[in-house]
Amino acid sequence: MDGCSMGIDSYFAATLTGKILKQVAKELAYKEFADQTPVAPAVLMKLILQQLFEKLKSIRNQLDLKRNELLNTLILAVIDTANKSGEFICIGDGVIHIDGTLYDYDQQNKPDYIGYHLTEDFENWYANQQQRLSVSVINDFSLVTDGIYTFSKFDHKAYDPPGNIAEYLLVDGDANSVENMLHQKMIEIKNNWGLAPTDDLAIVRCIL
């Protein structure tokens, strides 16, 4: 999740979306465990977004929220770890990186957030989503906010010439320190290249 400049208190919408997704994930996990029937990622993705859509609509009505109070980016993946397949969606601006291929979603400063569509029918909204991917074989993927493109100098000291930041963060790996890999890379970018992001940056990277 990522807030947006055109939203009112967009950190609230981003946090709320995360809380709802956590609740929905728990409920669906319990149901799948009880039914003992695996659900395909494509089916699960739609179920998750449908519940998110309906819960956001309900909360909007309960709190009498304006449309601009429910605007945030959502980049979501549903992964079948056993078969290494998955479904991806980007709602708003962001980046999805899968096994060396980078999918950059830039809606030219007019991101089409869920909050704009809560008065509509979910089925119609979902059918019109274009920023979706269905991948049958996945080894390494990342979900990234567009803050990855905002690295810039933060002082006037001399540093080594910078490399490709996106490639360094999303492609290069270190099997010996996977848990702290991104944190270490951010420190190295700052210390060696003298660069830091000037906008919110979130990266979820998963090596299957």
Residue 60 shares a structural domain with residue 160: no
Residue 187 structural domain: 148-207
Alpha-carbon span 6 to 1, nearest angstrom: 15
State the pLDDT confidence band at 165, using cuts at 50, 70 and 90. very high
Residue 97 shares a structural domain with residue 184: no
**Would you say residue 178 has pLDDT above 80?**
no
State the pLDDT confidence band at 188, using cuts at 50, 70 and 90. very high
Report which residue type is found at 55. Answer: K
Mean pLDDT of 170-194: 85
> What is the C-alpha radius of gyration for the chain, rounded to an integer number of angstroms?
18
Residue 28 shares a structural domain with residue 58: yes
Residue 106 shares a structural domain with residue 191: no
Residue 134 shares a structural domain with residue 152: no
Partners of 141 in the β-ladder: 98, 206
Structure confidence by residue, pLDDT tens digits, 100-146? 999 999 988 788 999 999 999 999 999 999 999 999 999 999 999 99
Residue 190 DSSP class: I
The strand order across the sheet containing 140-144 reads: 101-105, 94-98, 140-144, 203-207
Please indicate, yes or no, if residue 182 is contained in any of the structural domains. yes
Q: How many CB atoms lie within 10 A of CB 4?
A: 19
Please indicate, yes or no, if residue 5 is contained in any of the structural domains. no
Structure confidence by residue, pLDDT tens digits, 46-97? 999 999 999 999 999 999 999 999 999 999 999 999 999 999 999 999 999 9
Res 175: pLDDT: 55
Structure confidence by residue, pLDDT tens digits, 151-161? 999 999 999 99
Alpha-carbon span 60 to 74, nearest angstrom: 18
Res 157: pLDDT: 94
Res 162: pLDDT: 94
**Would you say residue 176 has pLDDT above 70?**
no
Residue 81 shares a structural domain with residue 104: yes
Residue 21 shares a structural domain with residue 102: yes
Please indicate, yes or no, if residue 97 is contained in any of the structural domains. yes
Alpha-carbon span 42 to 134, nearest angstrom: 8
Which residue is associated with the tokens 């909360």? 59
> Of 177, 101, 175, which is closest to residue 142 (Cα–Cα)?
101
Res 6: pLDDT: 80
**Would you say residue 185 has pLDDT above 60?**
yes
Please indicate, yes or no, if residue 143 is contained in any of the structural domains. no
Q: Specify the range with the lowest mean pLDDT, choosing from 8-22, 89-103, 161-175.
A: 161-175
Q: Of 114, 138, 162, which closes a domain?
A: 138
Res 5: pLDDT: 80
Residue 116 shares a structural domain with residue 167: no
Report which residue type is found at 10. Answer: S
Residue 98 shares a structural domain with residue 24: yes
